[in-house]
Each structure stands twice: as structure tokens, then as C-alpha cells.
Amino acid sequence: IFISFGNIGQILARKEFIYTLDFKIATLTKIASVVTTVIAGIMLRDYRALVIGIIAGYTVPVFLSYLWHPYRPRWNTSKIGEIWTLTKWLMVARAGQFILRKGDEFVAGRIGTTAQFGLYNVGSDFGQTPVGEIGPAMLKALLPVLSSLEGNIERTNQAVIKTIAAVNTVIWPIGLGFMAIAAQATELALGSRWMDAVPFISLFALASVLQTMTSPANTLLILHGHTRSQSQIVWIEFASFVLAAIALVPGFHLIGLALARTISSVVSSLVTLLYTQKICQLPMSAALQTIIRPLAGAVLMYALVTYMITSLLPGMIASPALGSLGLAAAILSGAVFFMLWSLASWHFSGRPEGLESTIMDKIIQWRMSNAKL
């Protein structure tokens, strides 16, 4: 609740394409949260340190938003009717998202043991972390950019397609790469006692990609004020999750619950593209084409990394140093392969708009500026 009192000036800064404020607030908040937790841990030496750290993580950005932006909000209800027309459906959508994201954990706690619930919960959090941190950060600037193009449907849709292409070029290799090294990452970050969580980590890593891959299309719906449609998409996703869980949980137990989340994410993405095609004239075929290319490359990368791990690491297991070297080689090989795949497939597919074209444009600009010097 307290974080809702943050200064709206932070949103105004994004609208003006000033993202240094977001960066400073996010960075200092992370530092403050960690430092507070450590100090409280040294002083209290119990779980209260974590609680204090979490509280600091929510309160610090509120104070910083007022400290670093001059705008001061004033109480005004003159536009409340207009605002409520849009936000009431956003509230319904957020309620559905909360139930969907936490409902599976509630079910897991009911049908599983305490240990099984712990594995499911940790697997969910850890598996979604890589894409969950990067995906939203990439999309933060999209709404202000689209707002500046509003009125030009063709340019707006082109910007959304380009963003979908860029986002998927990043999240697919991260998500599937994390799936490939899930066992090694779990042992390194959480310890060997959490190895039973690896299947959940892998599934939720995939689910996080599927949830994020059409997020730019969701932003397009918000831009045009179709919050009711967005709410419908969320509840369709929830309904598909319930149906999938009913079908899968009896046979696969908690794994079935994670699979249901993955399936519902696919349904949500497809329905989102259908809605944006119908309402916003965003070509579904063009959006899918931008997803298929990085998806194919990420699948091949996953196969390569998995093969290298299964073939190299067993022979190096006796030496931790060699094992780490083999894992690093597998990760590096996967990254290099995906970059080469992206460039080659981008070239042979006609050099469409996306992350590759943006990078190439920047390189050309850099070369031209150096040539002038």
C-alpha cells in the first residue's frame, strides 16, 4: 500500500524519455535493501532482518521519488470518472493476474507436502528470475514511445512488431539457456539439497518466456484504452490454467501444476495476438514470424548446451575447476551460436526490423562518425 504513495513524477520522467531517474531509484533501492538486511541480520540474527529488508525495499523508492523529482501531486477528483473508466478494468486484470500467479502456489500447498511446496515455490521464483528481471526492463520505455506515435496506426504497429522481435531475441536464449543449465545453476546458487526443484525451475523458466513474449502487444491494448480486453485475456488465461491443472495434476502432481502454468501462458500469448489483430490491426502473422526465428535459434542453442553439458561435465566431475571450465565453455558456445544464428537468420530472412537491425544501424552510425573524425 505504501508504495502507491510514490511520486507520479517518476511516470512523467518516463513520458519525457528520462530514464536516469528510474535507474538511480532502482539502484539505490537495491543497495539500501541489501545493506539494511545485512545490518539488521548482524544485529537481530533472525528472520526479522529479512522483513526489515523487504520493508526498506518498498519505502526507499517512495522517498526517493519525491527527493529526485520536482513534481508534487495535488488532490484532484475532477478527472476521476475518466480515469475510473480505464482503471476499473485494469484492477480486474490485476486481480486475475494475482490469483493466477499465486493460485497455483495455494494449490501446491494444499495437495503437496511442506517439502514439495517448498520445492515448487523456490522453483517458481528462481526459474522466473532471469527473464522476469530483464523482460519488464526492456518494455518500460515502450508505452511512452507508442504514445508519441499515437494517431499513426501503421507506425505504431511497426514499433510494436519491432519491439516484439527485440524482446524475443533476448528472452528466448536467456530462458532456454537457463533451462539448459538449471541443474548446475541450482547447485551453485541454492545448494545440492534443492536439486529436486530443477524440474520446476526449468518449467517456470520456459513459462516466464511465454508470458513475456507478447507483452508489447498488451502495451498496445493499454495505449488504445482497451483495458477491458486486457482483463478478458487475463481471465481467459486463468480459465485455461484451471482446465489444464484439472487435466494434468492427477497424473503429474505438482509437475502437472507447473505444466498448466506453461500451457496457460501459451494460451494467453495467442489470445493477446488475436485481440490485437482484431482491435488494433496488428498483423498476427508478422508478430509470430518475429517470435519463430529466435525461438528456433534458442531451441538449437538449448540442444547444443545440453549436449555439451552431458558430454563434457561427466568427464570433468572429479575436478571442480575443470567442471566449472566445461560449464563456462558450454554457456559461451551457446551464446556464440545464438548470436551467429540471429545474424544469419536475420540476413537470409530479408533483414527485418528488430534487435539486429538496430545494432547494425548503431554500428554504421559509429563507423560514419569515426570516418568524419
pLDDT along the chain (373 residues), means of 10: 81 78 88 90 85 89 89 82 79 85 88 92 92 84 72 85 91 95 88 91 95 91 86 93 95 94 95 94 92 95 91 58 72 93 91 83 81 69
On the CB side of 293, CA atoms within 13 Å amount to 29
Q: Could you tell me if 32 and 114 lie in one domain?
A: no
Q: Could you tell me if 36 and 151 lie in one domain?
A: no
CB atoms within 10 A of CB 281: 11
| Domain termination residue (choose one: 26, 44, 72) | 72
Rounded to two decimals, what is the model's pTM? 0.84
Q: Could you tell me if 192 and 126 lie in one domain?
A: yes
**Euclidean distance between CA atoms 202 and 182, whole angstroms:** 6
Q: Could you tell me if 132 and 258 lie in one domain?
A: yes
Residue ranges making up the domain that contains 66: 1-72
Q: Could you tell me if 53 and 163 lie in one domain?
A: no
Q: Could you tell me if 254 and 156 lie in one domain?
A: yes
**Euclidean distance between CA atoms 230 and 220, whole angstroms:** 10
Nearest to 293 by CA among 332, 331, 350, 335: 350
Q: Could you tell me if 162 and 301 lie in one domain?
A: yes
Q: Could you tell me if 144 and 249 lie in one domain?
A: yes
Q: Give the per-residue pLDDT at 326.
A: 72
Cell numbers at 228, concatenated: 477491458
Structural domain count of the chain: 2
Q: Taking the CA atoms of 46, 51, 56 and 57 in sequence, report the sign of the dihedral they define.
A: positive
Nearest to 200 by CA among 184, 179, 185: 179
Q: Give the per-residue pLDDT at 212.
A: 93
Q: Could you tell me if 253 and 363 lie in one domain?
A: yes
40 and 95 in contact (C-beta within 8 Å)? no
